[in-house]
Chains A and B, each alone.
Chain A
Amino acid sequence: MAYSAKLRVWRGDATSGELQDFEVEAEEGEVVLDLIHRLQATQTPDLAVRWNCKAGKCGSCSAEVNGRPRLLCMTRMSIFGEDEVITVTPMRAFPVIRDLVPDVSYNYEKAREIPSFTPPEGLEPGEYRMQQVDVERSQEFRKCIECFLCQDTCHVIRDHEENKESFAGPRFLMRVAELEMHPLDVADRVGDAQDVHGLGYCNITKCCTEVCPEGIRITDNALIPMKERVADRRYDPIVWLGNKIFKRNGA
């Protein structure tokens, strides 16, 4: 039933900020975002938070709750004790704009660096034929709601701003895998995955998979298979030898 919850919310902007304590009423069945909204309506009308669908489908309300990357709309209050202080902070891997709202433009820049879907020459709309079993692999990755929690948690960039330039992050390496596994995509994406998008930085600690609100097995189903394809091409001794002998430029 209703009780007074203890919220500690980061407030500030790019120059400075601090954690502030609030007591907010919590009602049965509510999520953290409900309490943030109640804070806005009753105590802090200018508290900045991004949100949209409030149903776990749009991936807007990403933040960190007690340090863990989460969607605020899918984090139920009932997982915390009533006396527990719940700390809400913006995603750490991105520069903060204000309060809980970070600048996520890094992600949109990385999205643009991945060559788009490339269908076979001459295949007209309406003629596409694919088997369900074949589309399912990429469909899993297309469940992504672009909340960027996987990017936020990934240690390659979480505390290493300098890696951002050469690392697309799990979300966009998964996008490369999605296109690579698309039954009708004809572009070769294996070389770029390593050289342009920074697949080699990933050391498969599965942090991204753990925070994915859609339960996508990013590491097992996208990143590791891509690494295997890179390895097959670059490090298989027979392929290496073949490339040497026949002077092909496959690698």
Chain B
Amino acid sequence: MTEVERHNYDVVVIGAGGAGLRAVIEARQRGLSVAVVCKSLFGKAHTVMAEGGCAASMGNANSHDNWQVHFRDTMRGGKFLNNWRMAELHAKEAPDRVWELESYGALFDRTDDGRISQRNFGGHTYPRLAHVGDRTGLELIRTMQQKIVSLQQEDYQHYGDYEAKLRVFAECTVTELLKEDGRIAGAFGYWRESGRFVLFETPAVVLATGGIGKSFKVTSNSWEYTGDGHALALRAGAGLINMEFVQFHPTGMVWPPSVKGILVTEGVRGDGGVLKNAEGERFMFRYIPDVFKGQYADSEEEADRWYSDQEGNRRTPDLLPRDEVARAINTEVKEGRASPHGGMFLDIASRLPTEEIRKRLPSMYHQFRELADVDITAESMEVGPTCHYVMGGIEVDPDTAAATVPGIFAAGECSGGMHGSNRLGGNSLSDLLVFGRRAGLGAAEYVESLGARPSVSDADITAAAKQALAPFDGPDDGAIEENPYTLHTELQQTMNQLVGIIRTSDEITKALDKLAEIRSRIRGVTVEGHRQYNPGWHLAVDLRNMLLVSECVARAALRRTESRGGHTRDDYPQLDAQWRNRLLVCAATDEQPVPGVGVEAKEQLPIRGDLLELFELSELEKYYTEDELAAHPERTA
């Protein structure tokens, strides 16, 4: 029998970023006992990296804003592939979720009349992002971390123990979800510090593990983003949707090499910064796509007037949705108009006074000064696309966040559907608040509705332990020993070069061949040393997840023969209305440690009539088939 530390909780949340913490708060407030398990220290999750803000139509900066406008912007940003129910819930509930944070102690920047200030961002019609300078994510995570501490303090009053009902398992990695009769029974993992195994006996798991960016070489994501939740769900039998849609943020740092990919907030452009090519041209005016014609300014003069007068002018194309801007930069670089280090210039220095820049964008100022010797109040930044976010994720019920496997819930970046083919900036923080809460609630209701709880079998524990320790033993069949760092680098290069921002059938096929090779070599991964805080071992375990999600991305990308949002096919450059309603669902095809991946197409539920009517027919015609629009009132009238 494997030696394993056992814990019993009503709900186990995996991931302590914004979505996870919000789920914890909700489930605990419903009276349940909750564990939150995270790979890093408490409060370090990737949410701290979110800079610009949290989108919510509070209407503080422009009173015309409301949930319908936010809903429309979100659907447009996602090129109408979004799960419309999620987009609806998100737009309706985001303001309450932001206001709630103030009652936990958050301190957002203020308007003159003392309300929460809101800033402009790409794809949002009105200034909509609640923010704290350019460190909004840090404020969210710290606020919820401190709320959790306050819940523990209440438990201390009641039970004399801070951890009586809510405990943080920091630096702990979950490697396997365990089931009984098709339902979740527990989660198995190890303490990173000691390497000792830990078992959570629980009927409900909320996956909130974030994204998959560490499968790509140039990324704004931290090491934690290895697609753990995606892979755990897949191996447990759940489906992943929209995995072909990966967002490349248009503005990552490009120099020096060691910081390539680190994010430069969209807030720079929201606050007046503009993109220029090596010739000094504001090139974005040449890249307004047909679907957005008429919604963006077509001259520099109008664009500049828009910052002060939004009613009489259209917004600058520097603030087109991210997919559009990233592709435009890619094209400019390809056509030979790159900055010295292969990016574009982002100029805020000539647009705002020094003091104003330092006040609004303090961490950008700091980041460039410390890491690149660039003073952004005096010179332009050099920026280029960086892998930033995966729109794809675990398929969930919009209202309860339940996955197709009973007992699995998912929220935030590791869930799929909400953002369609492309996420708007600012919609991530609001997503994780809205659906983090719903996942906590969904899990709580599921647990309350259960009779007998599923139990974990000893055989499953033994198998999970064996699997986790395999890298110490090395290959048992005489295969070559592999270094996990080397394989990881090869995986990242493959995904970056062949399944990156612009894709073709040939390149994706090559990528799949390479992934198959990595799959055959991954069995040989061998690590040195012992189980105590051993990063080589940690990487070896995470590497399986990265390979699995990379295969999902590549297989779905090969299958979708159109270009939409975060999926651009050079061989199929057009948006295809026949593809709009089709979701690609990835599922595991066997029970191997890194299972095979199958892809099936599936239709979405048709959008509710009252939501469809929020759009003018002329806009919908750019996205929908004739049949789908037959019932629109402008058609029937």
Q: Could you tell me which A residues sit within 8 Å of B by CB distance?
A: 13, 27-31, 34, 40-41, 45-60, 74, 76, 97-99, 101, 104, 108, 111-112, 115-117, 119, 123, 125-126, 128-132, 135, 138-139, 142-146, 179, 182, 185, 215
Contacts and interface: CB of A to CB of B under 8 A. Distances in A.
Contacts of A55: 49, 259, 262-263, 367, 371
Contact of B371 (A31, A47, A53, A182): A31
Contacts of B595: none
B222 A52 contact: yes
B533 A101 contact: yes
Given A46-B527, A116-B149, A126-B96, 19 more contacts: A29-B259, A40-B485, A46-B528, A46-B530, A54-B259, A54-B262, A55-B371, A56-B366, A58-B40, A97-B533, A104-B41, A112-B156, A116-B146, A116-B150, A117-B146, A126-B99, A139-B109, A143-B362, A146-B142
Given A46-B528, A108-B42, A142 B485 contact: no
Nearest to B147: A116
Contact of A125 (B103, B527, B529): B103
Contacts of B193: 97-98, 101
B532 interface: yes
B141 to A, nearest CB: 9
Contacts of A112: 149, 152-153, 156, 162
A97 B142 CA distance: 25
B162 A58 contact: no
A145 B48 contact: yes
Interface string B228-264: 0000000000000000000000000001111100110
B371 A125 contact: no
B263 to A, nearest CB: 7
Q: Which of A30, A57, A74 counts the most B-chain CB atoms under 10 A from its CB?
A: A57
A125 B147 CA distance: 15
Contacts of A48: 532-535
B387 to A, nearest CB: 15
B451 interface: no
Nearest to A128: B102
13 contacts: A27-B258, A29-B256, A40-B485, A56-B370, A58-B49, A74-B370, A108-B42, A129-B113, A130-B114, A135-B108, A139-B133, A142-B142, A185-B105
Interface string B500-542: 0000000000000000000000000001111011111100000
A129 B116 CA distance: 8
Given A59-B44, A60-B40, A60-B41, A29 B222 contact: no
A46 B48 contact: no
A96 B536 CA distance: 19
A221 B596 CA distance: 57
Given A29-B256, A41-B485, A48-B534, A128 B153 contact: no
B356 to A, nearest CB: 14
Nearest to B263: A55
Contacts of A179: 105
A52 B535 contact: no
B493 interface: no
Nearest to A59: B44
Contacts, number: 175
A167 B139 CA distance: 25
A97 B48 CA distance: 25
Contacts of B95: 126
Nearest to A14: B532
Contacts of A13: 532
B48 A129 contact: no
Contacts of B222: 52-54, 58
B100 interface: yes
Closest 4 CB pairs of A and B: A29-B256, A117-B105, A46-B529, A116-B150
Nearest to A53: B222
A119 B105 CA distance: 8
B76 interface: no
B567 interface: no
Interface string B164-192: 00000000000000000000000000000
Interface of B: 40-44, 46, 48-49, 95-96, 99-100, 102-105, 107-110, 113-115, 117, 132-133, 135, 138-139, 142, 146-147, 149-150, 152-153, 156, 162, 193, 222-224, 255-259, 262-263, 362-363, 366-367, 370-372, 483-486, 489, 527-530, 532-537
Contacts of B530: 46
A40 B42 CA distance: 24
Contacts of B117: 132
Contacts of A144: 142
B485 A125 contact: no
A49 B539 CA distance: 13
A74 B259 CA distance: 11
Q: Which of B41, B43, B263, B363 counts the most A-chain CB atoms under 10 A from its CB?
A: B41
Contact of A52 (B40, B146, B366): B40
A158 B256 CA distance: 35
B363 A116 contact: no
A53 B485 contact: no
Contacts of B537: 46
A198 B532 CA distance: 35
A157 to B, nearest CB: 19
B48 A135 contact: no
Contacts of B46: 52-53
Nearest to A114: B149
A30 B135 contact: no
B531 to A, nearest CB: 10
B257 A28 contact: yes
A119 B224 CA distance: 35
Nearest to B58: A126
Contacts of A98: 193, 532-533
Contacts of A123: 103
Contacts of A145: 48, 138
Given A74-B370, A101-B533, A182-B107, A51 B223 contact: yes
Nearest to B372: A29
A31 B372 CA distance: 11
Contacts of B156: 112
Contacts of B146: 111, 116-117
Q: Which of A45, A48, A111 counts the most B-chain CB atoms under 10 A from its CB?
A: A45
A134 B108 CA distance: 11
Contacts of A126: 95-96, 99
Nearest to A146: B43
Contacts of A99: 533
Contacts of B149: 111-112, 116
A101 to B, nearest CB: 6
Nearest to A138: B107
B104 A57 contact: no
Contacts of A131: 110, 114
B258 A34 contact: yes
Nearest to A77: B258
A144 B141 CA distance: 12
Nearest to A78: B373
A45 B138 contact: no
B150 A117 contact: yes
A47 B528 CA distance: 10
A222 to B, nearest CB: 15
B109 A132 contact: yes
A129 B115 contact: yes
B225 to A, nearest CB: 10
A45 B96 contact: no
Nearest to A31: B258
A55 B258 CA distance: 11
B255 A29 contact: yes
